Amino acid sequence: MSNILVITASLRAKSNSDILAERLIAGAKNAGHQVEQISLKGKSIGFCKGCLACQKTKKCVLKDDAADIAEKIRNADTLVFVTPIYFYEMSGQMKTLLDRMNPVYASEYSFRNVYMLSVAADDAKTTPERALNGLQGWLDCFEKAGLAGSLFCGGINDAGEAAGKTDDLQAAYAFGESLK
């Protein structure tokens, strides 16, 4: 079974992303996986300076929470990013985190399968496309890894609303069970 790292990117209390991530994690654990969750709530993650020192040192010059997250990403077999969709794109905090993962690019990394669970008020099938394209752009830099799947839960807006969305909760659980 896999060592799965779930990174939740919503900063909102009673986040719909977090509610669905809990169900995904329950499904993954039921399938026998070892799961760790990291929430970006309360984390200090600065913007990449573009100095590229990390390409030689495999460490970022900035001293914040991104270094610990990078180490966990590097060692996970499977990654799951859980993000709200803001203005038809992944959350800014998720994008900032991805930008800061340059030290992982320059090192040996274990992850091969990467997944995304996204949540938005808009329920159009096309709503998560830009977020998925953004994640795919990041993944294009990691030759050994690929986007293995995604789940989009649309039509969810108010804080905590996902707790009453039985179909989405079941879909998140099944998605978690299907992770590799």
Alpha helices in the chain (DSSP H): 16-30, 54-57, 66-75, 92-99, 102-105, 129-139, 166-178
Q: Which of 23, 1, 32, 61 is nearest to 166 (CA)?
A: 23
Q: Tally Cβ neighbours within 10 Å of residue 124.
A: 12
Q: Which domain holds residue 105?
A: 3-178
CATH of the domain at 69: 3.40.50.360
CA geometry: angle 154, 91, 21, nearest 5 deg: 55
- Domain count of the fold of the chain: 1
Q: Is the pTM of this model over 0.95?
A: yes
| Two structure tokens written together for 72 | 């966990």
Torsion sign across C-alpha atoms 7, 109, 78, 131: positive
pLDDT (tens, 9 = 90+) of the chain, 180 residues, equals: 899 999 999 999 889 999 999 999 999 999 999 999 999 999 999 999 999 999 999 999 999 999 999 999 999 999 999 999 999 999 999 999 999 999 999 899 999 999 999 999 999 999 999 999 999 999 999 999 999 999 999 999 999 999 999 999 999 999 999 999
